[in-house]
Structure 1
Amino acid sequence: MKMEYQNISNSSQFACTSVVVSSTVLGLCFALGVPGNIAVLVMLTQHLKEGSFTPKLMLNLAVSDLLSLISLPVWIYALLNGWVFGQGLCKLFSYVVYWSLYSSVLSVTLLSVQRYLQVLYPQRWAKLGQKGQKGLIFGIWTSSGALGSYALYFRNVKQMDRLPVCHQDYRNNQDKLVVLLVETLVMFLVPLFSLLFFYLRLHQRISQSASFKSHRLTKLAIRIVVAFFIFSTPCMINNLVLMAVSWESDVSNNVTGALFFINSCVNPFLYAFSARTLRCRRKQHSDELQHQNETE
């Protein structure tokens, strides 16, 4: 009896520690990520008229990251005190988070495809035109909204460990498997194979070229994708474990979920690290316009 009580006490202490750690990580993500992504939005809006699709796609990624971060104070409060905001807001906030996360993932995936085509097959990419590019951005948001819509159905407020919790309330094990399988495929496996295929092919083709050093935006895109996989891998491993077992751990969900949000606040630092590249591109674009005006 004493040993059983000790195990329960240790488990409870470990759960409390995970909540504190997760809340701290989410708080840092909010403090660093929100102003960082706002700065990125301001910086990237200066490059939208240059015609390149990469800054537009990065802007879309920054908007997605910002949307996923602005609700973090609500989730931090819920981790520490329970969900006290009602069933409707539970569904709404969950949907916005899933919508923005799917948008981030699809933006990162399209980034790998776009850099591959624009660098190696510029004529094919040019055929897409401005309307086609806008269609791709619109497609990202509509697809993300559709993919994240299950949160409106499965997210509910339940009493767990004396506190109300906003969590995935699956009707049966089959629903759980379907949702986790979609998340694993769309949020991890599809982007992973896109990264391996497009960037490896891209590296093989341009590493032999003397102009490889000029493809700094490609390097920035690779850094963004690599950072995404570093912080999303624990969450996807957690999903695979949940598909294999019948029970669910709030500790693993909280910790891996907090790690997933780190990616949204890391991206602005990657942009800042490569800000010189974007300034050089902007100056080059201005010089080209000035040269065209002089020749006319």
Structure 2
Amino acid sequence: EKNNLNITNITEDTLNVTEASEDPLEHTTFYPSDYTDQNIILLCVNEDLQKGVFIQVLYYLVFIFSVLGNGLVLYVLVKYRKLNSVTNIFVLNLAISDLLFAISLPFWAVDHATEWIFGNLLCKVMSGVYFLGFYSCILFLLVMTIDRYLAVVHVVRATRGRKNYCAITVCVIIWCVCILVTVPEFVLTGVMEHWDGHMLCVILDEDNHRWKLWGSLQHVVCFFLVPFAIIVYCYARIIKRLISCRTHRKHKAVKVILIIIAVFFLCWAPYNVIVFFDCLEELGVPLFQECEEKRALQYSYYIIRNITYFHCCLNPILYAFVGTEFRKSLTHLFCRSTSCKKMQERTYTVRNSTHSCQ
């Protein structure tokens, strides 16, 4: 309100001077406090975009699909005791990380719709849970790729090293690393009142610029560039090994691998490009000086970030439902009716007859 009153007074003084003098700027004094960088930036903020219904609906959709998909993965793995393999241990932890990420989305949907109404403690908790799920998801995708690489390319070495206790140890290390990385988010995040009276859940540290810059660099380098380079290398070696093998299933395996790489790149690369641009802005590189360019960057950020969120819905399809054993367990789960059992028995009889004729 103070800034608005000052701007109004300046406007009235300017009009009065215009009538008395040919040069309207000759007797006009401008105060730096009335024209801060914050006020200039606010002119380029699209409030309709931040309060848009589309973002809220999309958050709820991602939440629903992620809970259904990853919840089903957890249920099947626990009910049918499929945790006797290294791959399933990693799939279980990936599903947990996706669920952690998805749990925070309804809170951010309400925040976008109105303001942060859940208090300071939940602000800290949801910020920590959000980044914990975000970072752990990337690392579990990475170790699953390395595990596949060892199982296909280095079969002998993998036979000795791919033990369940090794997988559990790796998972514990990943969770510990991600918790340590998200501690600053939990400690520094809190609720503050915006200049327009709305309550925000933001970083409260005085040196906000430094933490934002460090977070952007950490996100781009440690949680995208390095993992993506390792994933591409591992899958390239896997494809090379599969092509050299004489098996009719290699083409399907190669297709699945290419789909996994494409989905990972499409979901994470655009988002990290936007984060990198934001990092350059924090360093003072004048990439986007015009207001329209800043608004275009905001639109790109919101759209690309929402595409990235869908990755937690796709993980169950790519890493669980594709597996043969998991599909069998899923079929057994949904096929408990008498008609379905009869169909399975009939199929089993036909297969046995075919094999006996051969």
TM range (shorter): 0.7 to 0.9
Distance 1:213 1:76 in 2: 44
Q: CA deviation at 1:149?
A: 1.7
The corresponding residue for 2:136 is 103
Q: How does 1:23-172 map to 2 (within 5 A)?
A: 23-45=56-78, 46=80, 48-51=82-85, 53-128=86-161, 129-160=163-194, 161-169=196-204, 171-172=207-208
> What TM-score, normalized by structure 1, do the two folds share?
0.80
Q: Compare the two structures and name the one with the higher helix fraction.
A: 1
Distance 1:102 1:148 in 2: 9
Q: How does 1:190-269 map to 2 (within 5 A)?
A: 190-211=226-247, 213=249, 220=256, 223-246=259-282, 254-269=302-317
Q: Which has the higher contact order (CA 8 A, sep 6+)?
A: 1
The corresponding residue for 1:5 is none
> What TM-score, normalized by structure 2, do the two folds share?
0.67
Report sequence identity in percent.
Answer: 25
Q: CA deviation at 1:230?
A: 1.6
Which moved further from structure 2: 272-281 or 112-121?
Answer: 272-281
CA contact (8 A) 2:62 2:310 kept: yes
**Cα distance 1:231–1:169, how it changes in 2: closer, same or farther (>3 A)?**
farther
Which moved further from structure 2: 103-112 or 169-178?
Answer: 169-178
Give the letter for the 2:100 counterpart: L
1:187 lines up with 2:223 in the alignment: yes
| Cα displacement string for residues 31-56 of structure 1 (whole angstroms, at most 9, x for unaligned residues) | 211111111212334363443x1122
C-alpha RMSD of the superposition: 3.2
**Cα distance 1:220–1:48, how it changes in 2: closer, same or farther (>3 A)?**
farther
**Cα distance 1:184–1:169, how it changes in 2: closer, same or farther (>3 A)?**
farther
CA contact (8 A) 2:83 2:89 kept: no
Distance 1:252 1:47 in 2: 43
Give the letter for the 1:235 counterpart: Y
Give the letter for the 2:113 counterpart: L
Q: What SS does structure 1 have at the residue aligned with 2:270?
A: helix
Q: What SS does structure 1 have at the residue aligned with 2:192?
A: strand
Distance 1:251 1:162 in 2: 24
Give the letter for the 2:315 counterpart: N
Give the letter for the 2:274 counterpart: N
| Cα displacement string for residues 12-66 of structure 1 (whole angstroms, at most 9, x for unaligned residues) | 6x43135422222111101211111111212334363443x11221121111101
Which moved further from structure 2: 68-77 or 262-271?
Answer: 262-271
**Cα distance 1:57–1:224, how it changes in 2: closer, same or farther (>3 A)?**
farther
**Cα distance 1:276–1:122, how it changes in 2: closer, same or farther (>3 A)?**
closer
Q: What SS does structure 2 have at the residue aligned with 1:70?
A: helix
**Cα distance 1:108–1:218, how it changes in 2: closer, same or farther (>3 A)?**
farther
Distance 2:316 2:330 in 1: 19
Distance 1:118 1:281 in 2: 23
CA contact (8 A) 1:216 1:277 kept: no
Unaligned segments of structure 1, at least 5 residues: 2-7, 284-296
The corresponding residue for 2:36 is none
Give the letter for the 1:165 counterpart: L
State the structure with more CA Rg: 2
Give the letter for the 2:277 counterpart: V
Distance 2:108 2:191 in 1: 13
Q: CA deviation at 1:226?
A: 3.6
Distance 1:212 1:47 in 2: 30
Aligned length: 276
Q: CA deviation at 1:277?
A: 5.7
Unaligned segments of structure 2, at least 5 residues: 1-10, 12-40, 285-293, 332-358
